[in-house]
Amino acid sequence: MAILGNIRKHSGYVVALVGVAIAAFVLGDIGLKNMRTQTNVGNIDGEEITYKVFEQKVEENTELTKQSMGKENLTAEEVFTVRQNTWSQFVNELIMDKQYNALGLSISEEEVTDLIQGPNPHRFIIQNFTNPETQQFDRALLLNFLQTIDQREPAVRAQMENLIVMIKADRLNQKYNNLVGKGYYLPKALVNKDFTMKNTKANFRLVSQSFSIIGDSAVKVTDDDLRAYYEKNLKVYDQTESRDIDYVIFEVNPSQDDRIRMAREMDNLYKEMNASTDLPAFINFNSDVPYDSSFMKKGTLPVQIDSLMFASTVGTMGGPWIDNDVYNIARLVDRQSRPDSLKANHILIAFKGAYGAAETVKRTKDEAVVLADSLLSVIRKDNKNFAALAMKFSNDPSVTKNNGDLGWFPDGQMVPQFNKAVLDNPIGSVVKIETPFGFHVIEVTGKTRSVEKVRVALLKRSIVPSSTTTQQIYAKAAAFAGQNRDLASFDKTVTEQGLNKRTKEYINPMDQQIPGIKSPREVIRWAFDPKTEIGSVSDVKDVDGNFVVAVLKTIRNKGIAPFEQVKEMIQPTVLKEKKIELLVEKMKGLNAKSIEDYSSKLQAKVDTITDISFFSFNVPMVGREPSLLGTIFSMNAHEISKPIKGANFAMVVVVDQFSDAPARDNLSVEKKQLENSFNSRVSSNLFKILEKETPIEDNRVLFF
């Protein structure tokens, strides 16, 4: 339950960079702001998506995501995912709405009502109103929620409104797919043909030679050959926009001086912590992580102190020790016998100004006390209506899913006041307590047996680079970027200085991953900046606490790739084709009359292969060879083929026998399978086709 989770503050530090770095950051930000004022986020089929409209939708989706995940804040990766999904939402809605409008497709209010609370609710309703204990759809829970929707917090109402939007969109999409799918007819003749081709089997003998038996020097590939292949296969080279970069990461790690300084500091902290009379305050002031008052059972503490803390008296110190570049110091605070897990029902009565209270909560603290006392009195007399009262009065958003039943939770998971109330009171008791979130009416419903636990104050300090170290590494990166302004000098200096150059190819505009860089968006935006040309070297990018300098190697624009850009990629394929052509010509010149004759003259064995159909994906001995299958099933039995140019082999085949498909009077099952397969392809590919045919201008890389 997110609303009752521990509230923790995380300490941090700010590293001051040299003045030129600050100036570069400020100027870069100004440039980005100017760019944003000049360009919309995108254009979808003529509809401009302004930065303001897009950001408003991102904010809405961010809030919905926080609520669905039960989190107060999202990580950078989660925010990026929300942005990606928001763009996809715009694309989907604008494309499909035009399709729906053109066809007159709509959803009536009666249909929406039926989808929500009819005899067969939409799957989204079933998913969101499933009883956590029975794992079955709970209609009573749904109806109770709908009847009290006006009393819910705005966030909860917004979630329901979003759910209804999703339901309507899904049903419209289903109607559209059905309309397209039902617009096709599967003739009986086609079903018969498909069945025959799948079930007619061939037994044959094969002589094959792989292209690999010919050396590269025996074949000459000209530019005309490459261009001819390119022109013949243009669609293969239809590409999305991408970039290739090389980059160097100047990692900011603690120096030896930093480690010596930290060791002295931790020795002093050890002495101060041992003498401290207010450990929570001391830890919160000096540690990278706040004081944790949880009681821990044996085996859950760090291995360096686990046995020590359970065998020692209160006040015993442990450490300092280093674990993954983090200094640790521990002190035993308390030892108790406590349950490992607790179980409770609860109702939260929030008031205006309480932590996390929704804007719709207008009651004062005094009014909240009166309501909580009233509920306490009612439940103590009869706790059978706890769930109904929770649904009606609780301000905890999770009540819509759990009816106020928190289930089992680990000792120490809830805020201290709540945890203490459940711990200190017997099973079956009903109590009222106050936390920063408001007043809670709690029914204690379960506890596991008690085990020995200890409370340990743990101070953690990461070994971090000093500002001096950071500035020295920045200066090195800045010198590298400033002295190497093109690809040649970049590569030369990398070699001379023994730097670790990395490469990332085919970066897409909205990628979120580059090896070694956790948050690479700044580097990617630079690579896609219209002003960045091939061979350009970036300024120093401050990324993830390290410094990155990159050079742009390749620009690929959307559309058919230019010949020169794919020339080297075509070379191996054309070389292979010409080798196979040589083998085919050699076979033709043998004047062989039988498969054994080919085998003898080529000194190649004869392979006997059975039970192959036209739809066989792979053929034993040669793999995937569509030309071979096409030849076999266009021949007569006992007929020998002409030399075949395959994908990887030159081949000659003779069919020994065809086994006809079995006679079937009724192919209704096969027909249904074909129809289902087609409808599945419609469902999965229809939008992709519409999207591909829709003019879309995506400028997000200029903003995010």
Asked if the model's pLDDT at residue 13 lies above 60, the reply is no
Residues 6+ apart with CB under 8 A from 311: none
DSSP string, 395-453: --TTHHHHTTEEEEEETT-B-HHHHHHHHHS-TT-EEEEEETTEEEEEEEEEEPPEEEE
Paired strand residues for 223: none
pLDDT at res. 220: 94
**Amino acid making up residue 426:** P
Q: What is the mean pLDDT of the chain?
A: 89
pLDDT of residue 4: 28
> How are beta strands 295-297 and 450-462 bridged, if at all?
antiparallel
Of 177 and 579, the one with more pLDDT: 579
For the cut 60, the answer to whether the pLDDT of residue 36 exceeds it is: no
Q: Which residue has the tokens 């999965």?
A: 684
Beta pairing class for 341-349 and 405-410: antiparallel
DSSP 575: H
> Which residue type, as a one-letter code, is found at position 398?
S
CA distances from 46 to 50, 91, 104, 240, 695 (A): 12, 12, 21, 20, 8
Over the stretch 495-525, which tens digit does the pLDDT of each residue have?
999 999 999 999 999 999 899 998 899 999 9
Q: What single-letter DSSP state applies at residue 383?
A: G
C-beta atoms surrounding 549 within 10 Å: 24
pLDDT at 640: 95
Gap between the Cα atoms of 305 and 317, Å rounded:
9
* Burial category of 290 from C-beta neighbours within 10 Å (exposed 0-12, middle 13-18, buried 19 and up): middle
Residue 340 predicted with pLDDT over 70: yes
**How far is residue 303's CA from residue 502's CA, in Å, rounded to a whole number?**
37
pLDDT of 650-684, one tens digit each? Answer: 999 999 999 999 988 899 999 999 988 888 888 88
Q: Which is it for the CA torsion 37, 41, 44, 47, positive or negative?
A: negative
β 450-462/326-339 pair status: antiparallel
Strand order in 450-462's β-sheet? 295-297, 450-462, 326-339, 317-322
Q: What are phi and psi of 620, to 5 degrees?
A: -50, 140
What predicted TM-score, i.e. pTM, was given to this entire model? Answer: 0.71
Tokens linked to 328: 């640790």
Stretch 443-454: mean pLDDT: 91
- Among residues 66, 63, 145, the alpha carbon closest in space to that of 401 is found at 145
Cα 450 from chain centroid (whole Å) = 41
Q: Output the pLDDT for position 30.
A: 37
Residue 633 reports pLDDT greater than 80:
yes
List, for residues 258-302, the tens digit of each pLDDT value: 999 999 999 999 999 999 999 999 999 999 999 998 888 899 899
Structural domains in the chain, sorted by start: 109-181 (no CATH), 201-238+564-659 (no CATH), 242-253+466-557 (3.10.50), 256-338 (no CATH)
* CA atoms of 5 and 396, how far apart (whole Å): 12
- Pair type for strands 649-659 and 201-210: antiparallel
Q: What does the pLDDT average to over 427-431?
A: 92
How far separated are the first and last CA of the chain, in Å rounded?
A: 33
